[in-house]
Structure 1
Amino acid sequence: MMRLPCRDGSAATGDRQSVRRTSRSRALGHNAPMTMSATDGSPMRRLAVIGGGQMGGAILARAIAAGLYSASEVVVSDADPGIRDRLHASLGVRAIFDAPAAIDGATCILLAVKPQILTALGRDLRGKLLPGQVILSIAAGIELATLQEALGHSAIVRAMPNTPAQVGQGVTAWCATPDVGEASRAEIRALLAAVGTELEVDAERYLDMVTAVSGSGPAWAMVIIEAMTDAGVQLGLRRDWSYELVLQTLAGSVALARATGRHPADLRNMVTTPGGTTAAGLAAMERSGLRAALSDGIVAAYQRSVELGAAARK
């Protein structure tokens, strides 16, 4: 099965899906795996995390819990001494200020920093990255080409996780440059699978769409949870009752959709009796523009992701 290189505007050959869980890839000579190996002969993995905040810390914690790395195989760099102290105390990892020192010997370097500071970080790391090291960036909107230029490095993965990664229920879409070899891809897949589902996309342009649908998606879901809970309270339910009813209703609905594989419209119709309570509620929601509001919000998030990428290129 042929693999498309990950770059915006790439065209599919034959009948293919643009998103898949696994792919074959070529290990290019200038991105050969590092020669370090564990005592059992398997390649040794070492992780550097630049930015140990909410998402970086979550990915790190889940990766250690999954046994992908031991604490001694991880170094974290963060400007905040409080974050450094917390990660050292909770996970036992080495936590330092200096980013260039953190990447020494790493096979994978996770960039979990805000897009606004990537330029300055690039100046710190440029010229210090080695063949065989792969960069995994989760900075929203920052394109692979921009990262390559800023870091002076060709083997880069751009990914978009979401906050349920903190409990191992996230979904992360990712895209790699052709210079990312198979050993590095395997490490990326394992790292992202530790926090939930990982999906490799064929073209980078899909990642701005992913950002809007799933990257920002937990915010859309939380607004719905809030609104349904508040409505229950308005009707007279205790808040804790209403909240539990909403959480389990949504969790159960997702489980039902997964288990049956049926279209959401079919499942909606299962509870919509003609002239009944659900039909009345759905009609009111349609009049209030629920679908349009959700769609407009997702499109606005996509447009903002594109804007961030354009700004970073300047």
Structure 2
Amino acid sequence: MKIAIIGAGNMGLSFSKSFLKYELIKPENLQLITRNPAKIYKISEEFPKSKISIFSDVEKLDADLIIIAVKPQDFQHVAENFKFKLNEKQMILSIMAGIKIGKIQKLLNHPLVVRAMPNSPTLLGMGITGYTSAEGITFNELMNVERLLNSTGRSVYLENEDLLDGVTALSGSGPAYFYYIVDAMIKAGTQMGIDENLSKLFVKQTMLGAYHLINNSEKNLDDLIKDVASKGGTTEAALKTFEENNFKEILQKGILNAEKRAKELNG
């Protein structure tokens, strides 16, 4: 399989590294396209001994799969200004937030489109990606795409494309929510007189341990909370403050606003 990636940002490069790491593609069969000269230099530094091709512009993409990894706000400009021609057998894989399959098909005048929403832990091969596809793509072609997506973590196929905006809000944007909470906890630690680096250690290990308990325990979240929050204790004092200030509702409202924004990006 030959793959071309349009857009050499973090996600485009993380996909490239995963494909090469797991030998899903030969370096000489990978093309990266970016119009940013600084990115071309950066890519050359990141892949110093690789045989991948790096282009600033292209008229014909000699690839079986073309991954569009540009910002959704830039897609229309890219579609109008890149002069590449697609043949009837080539597939498009979009990892842009919000841009629906129908719009991609219209702007590229091409029917074979898979739409996916990965998240930033793909950089470590620990991401999760929701994806769906247009009609006309065979089962085997879809399995080839899934194999590529799974090299960056896990993937889930969704029959209903509308759910991808929810996936964008939940897991696509989700890492930032955890970083936000972790940052607040670290700063609370420093306010209590704990050294910042030590506070980071306590919070990060707590987050890691809590993840493993969620993943390995048969208990539901309410029971796991009750295991920590004894009556009249310290945890109960914190949780009471969260409830009084509607922390859970605020977090849910933020996620729903992220979904709303994802829908707006389609124009």
SS at match of 1:67: coil
Separation in 1, partners of 2:256, 2:83 = 35
Question: What runs of 5+ residues in structure 2 fail to find an aligned partner?
Answer: none
2:34 aligned with 1:78 = yes
Instruction: Provide the residue aligned with 2:70 in structure 1.
Output: 113
**d(CA) in 2 for partners of 1:131, 1:124:** 20
Instruction: Name the structure 2 match of 1:259.
Output: 216
Change (3 A) 1:232 1:209: same
The answer on whether the counterparts of 1:192 and 1:198 sit within 8 Å (CA) in structure 2 is yes
Q: Which of 204, 208, 212 pairs up with 1:247? A: 204
Q: For residue 122 of structure 1, report the CA deviation from its aligned partner.
A: 2.3
Q: Which amino acid aligns with 1:253?
A: A
Aligned residue in 2 for 1:96: 55
Distance, in Å, in 2 between the alignment partners of 1:145 and 1:161 is 20
- Mapped partners of 1:177, 1:294: distance in 2: 33
Amino acid at match of 1:53: G
- Determine which of 262, 274, 286 is the counterpart of 2:243: 286
1:296 aligns with 2:253: yes
From 122, 126, 148, give the equivalent of 2:79.
Answer: 122
Matches of 2:43 and 2:25, distance apart in 1 = 15
Question: 1:151 and 1:209 mapped to 2: Cα distance?
Answer: 25
Q: CA deviation at 1:131?
A: 2.3
Q: Deviations over 1:38-63 (max 9, x none)?
A: xxxxxxx1110000111111111111
Which of 15, 27, 43 is the matching residue for 1:87?
43
CA distance in 2, matches of 1:127, 1:277: 62
User: 2:163 matched to 1:206?
Assistant: yes
Identity value in percent: 32
Is 1:173 matched up with 2:133? no
CA distance in 2, matches of 1:171, 1:116: 23
The answer to whether the aligner puts 1:55 opposite 2:11 as a matched pair is: yes
Judge which range, 82-91 or 143-152, deviates more. Answer: 82-91
* Alignment partner of 2:99 out of 142, 156, 163: 142
Q: SS state of the match for residue 139, structure 1?
A: coil
After superposition, give the CA deviation of every residue in 1:56-101 in whole Å (9 maximum; x if it has no partner). 1111111111111121110110011221222233222210111434
The alpha carbon displacement at 1:127 in A equals 7.4
- Contact 2:186-2:203 within 8 A present in 1 as well: yes
Give, in angstroms, the shift of residue 183 of structure 1: 3.0
User: Please, what TM-score do these two structures have when normalized by structure 1?
Assistant: 0.81
Code of the residue aligned with 1:228 in structure 2: it is M
Partners of 2:129 and 2:156 within 8 A in 1: yes
Moved over 3 A (4+): 123-127
Q: Distance in 2 between matches of 1:120 and 1:273?
A: 57
Q: What are structure 1's unaligned runs of at least 5 residues? A: 1-44
Aligned-partner Cα distance in 1 for 2:84–2:182: 47
TM-superposed deviation, 1:116? 2.3
Structure 1 equivalent of residue 144 of structure 2: 187
Q: What's the TM-score once normalised by structure 2's chain length?
A: 0.94
Q: Partners in 1 of 2:176 and 2:37 — Cα distance?
A: 29
- Count of aligned residue pairs for this structure pair: 264
Aligned residues of 1:85 and 1:95 also touching (Cα < 8 A)? no
Task: Assess, with a 3 A threshold, how the Cα gap between structure 1 residues 261 and 63 changes in structure 2: closer, same or farther.
Answer: farther
The alignment partner of 1:100 has SS state of: coil
Residue 261 of structure 1 deviates from its aligned partner by 4.0
Q: Relative CO higher for 1 or 2, CA cutoff 8 Å, sep ≥ 6?
A: 1
Shift in alpha-carbon separation, 1:112–1:138, aligned structure 2, 3 A: same
Displacement after TM superposition at 1:135 (Å)? 0.5
